Amino acid sequence: MQRPLAGVLAVVAALVGGGLVAGSPTAVANTMAFVDDSNDARRGIDIERVRVNNGRRIVVTTTFEDLRRRPAGLTVYFDTRGPDRGPEYLVGGGIGGDSDWQAVRIENWAGDDAHLLLRCDSDLRVRYGRDTATYDIARRCFKRPGRVRVGVMSSGNRASQRDWAPKPRRFYDWVLR
């Protein structure tokens, strides 16, 4: 099934309710943690840290300042190839209460030629007490990459409420398998 990314993101938004820069990486084997600028978005969507584990599964944990049960969304963009200057996949969904998430194959930041990954084993865990949201994705969903890098965007219920980590349409450093 083929959908333009705008349509996929509209579904995600409805479910919610309405240059390469790496920041302070910390590495342990196939895991890296990155620190984002603090206080650059409103509380609840302000990303503080992103942790990527490129192990048996691809696990991305985003830590927020004061994550609460109010309309918010989280999209993680994945680059697995490198030379083409954009993501090949995204996982996005609501983190402000009961919601769903989707894994999507895309061709670039604009989401051209988007395809839902209907048989992708993925999970979203939101822990308000820990201010974290974690996407856990089977490696086969992304054709078992040897390395990944991510860019993360959180959003509120208004178009102007966004926080990007590390920066808009940029990735953190590669995390090797």
Name the more confident of 112 and 55. Answer: 55
Q: Which of 110, 115, 151 is nearest to 2 (CA)?
A: 115
Name the more confident of 10 and 141. Answer: 141
Tell me the sheet residues that pair with 153.
Answer: 75, 164
Task: Give the chain's radius of gyration (CA, Å).
Answer: 15
Q: What is the pLDDT of residue 19?
A: 36
Mean pLDDT of all residues in 73-93 = 92
**pLDDT of 5 over the 50 cut:** no
* Domain with 61 in it: 5-176
pTM of this structure: 0.83
Confidence of residue 25 (pLDDT cuts 50, 70, 90): low
Query: How many separate domains does the chain show?
Result: 1
Spatial contact of 72 and 66, defined as CB atoms under 8 Å apart: no
